[in-house]
Structure 1
Amino acid sequence: MEIIFALLSSVFASLTAILIKIGLAGINSNLATAIRTIIILIMSWIIVFYTNSIHSVNTLETIKNLSLKTIIFIVLSGFATGLSWLFYFKALQIGNVNKVVVIDKLSIVFTIILAAVFLNETLNIKIIIGVLLIAAGTLIITFQ
């Protein structure tokens, strides 16, 4: 199932780039990011209520018993996401979608490297070759 969800994520991410590039005409990219964030917030809470997650005893207990470490890392992740979106929207506003999206997907390379450093995930030859190919492809598309 993770492959299906990842593919769906990829499709919607590509739609995001196209839709926001069209939507950024005549609006500040930071304001557009704020509006988008409100929509995501509303959508997230609708999903929580729709799936009845908020009324689950386990969910409420889990939230109540979150460790400081968990809270800190969720908050830091939120800041990283916010900064990513701000920079992404600004780049889309001033650049071509085909270059911005490709450069943005260098996050794959950075994530694999950071996962190896901080999460001790293994890097085998296939992963290293894949990372190098992604980086090379990014360079080819960006500097054509």
Structure 2
Amino acid sequence: MPSSPNWLVWALLSACFAAITAVLAKVGVKGVDSDLAMAIRAAIVAIIAVPFVMVAGKWSNPLDLQPRTLVFLALSAFAAGASWVCYFRALQIGEAFKVAPIDKFSVVLVAVFAFMFLGERPSGRDWAGIGLITTGLVLLALRR
């Protein structure tokens, strides 16, 4: 699958929205159980996502998808839900400026898992960047 040059714009927008999400969630989780806060967020995402797909004219019957596709999307949803539960608990008890970057250790893990399971081969330069991300995360995680 060839890479479109637009991927960088979408990735940067994703990072911006993720940053805004962390700050808003940190404020929103104050005084409420983190699991309830996560469930409210998930419900709102669903309420927004389904009409968005429909208005964009991209809706099709999910049951028409290949079973393998549905299984992997379901597994991805379970992993996302587990991630959100952990993220909201961490935000409730930790500082957002530390929690969010540590959560992004997923960037490093994606590279490792993509190498191991998808056969993707990052270049030496890519691995150097991944190493720098790891170094930064270690510095954030270390206690003074």
Structures share fold, TM-score greater than 0.5: yes
TM-score (norm 2): 0.91
1:24-67 CA-partner distances (Å, limit 9, x unpaired) = 1110000000000110000001202211223xxxx34xx34322
Shift of 1:14: 0.2
Matched, 1:22 2:27: yes
Written as runs of structure 1 = structure 2, the 5 A alignment for 1:61-80 is 63-80=62-79
CA 1:68 to 1:135, structure 2 compared with 1: closer, same or farther past 3 Å?
Answer: same
Written as runs of structure 1 = structure 2, the 5 A alignment for 1:17-96 is 17-54=22-59, 59-60=60-61, 63-96=62-95
Query: Relative to total residues, which structure has the larger helix share, 1 or 2?
Result: 1
TM-score (norm 1): 0.91
Provide the C-alpha distance between the structure 1 equivalents of 2:58 and 2:121, rounded to a whole number of angstroms. Answer: 35
Shift of 1:113: 0.3
Helix, strand or coil: the match of 1:134?
helix
1:69-119 CA-partner distances (Å, limit 9, x unpaired) = 111100000000000000000000000111111111110000000000110
Quote the residue 2:129 is aligned against: 130
Quote the residue 1:6 is aligned against: 11
Provide the C-alpha distance between the structure 1 equivalents of 2:11 and 2:119, rounded to a whole number of angstroms. Answer: 22
Helix, strand or coil: the match of 1:53?
coil
1:124-144 CA-partner distances (Å, limit 9, x unpaired) = 211211111111011112215
CA RMSD of aligned residues (A): 1.2
Percent identity over the alignment is 38
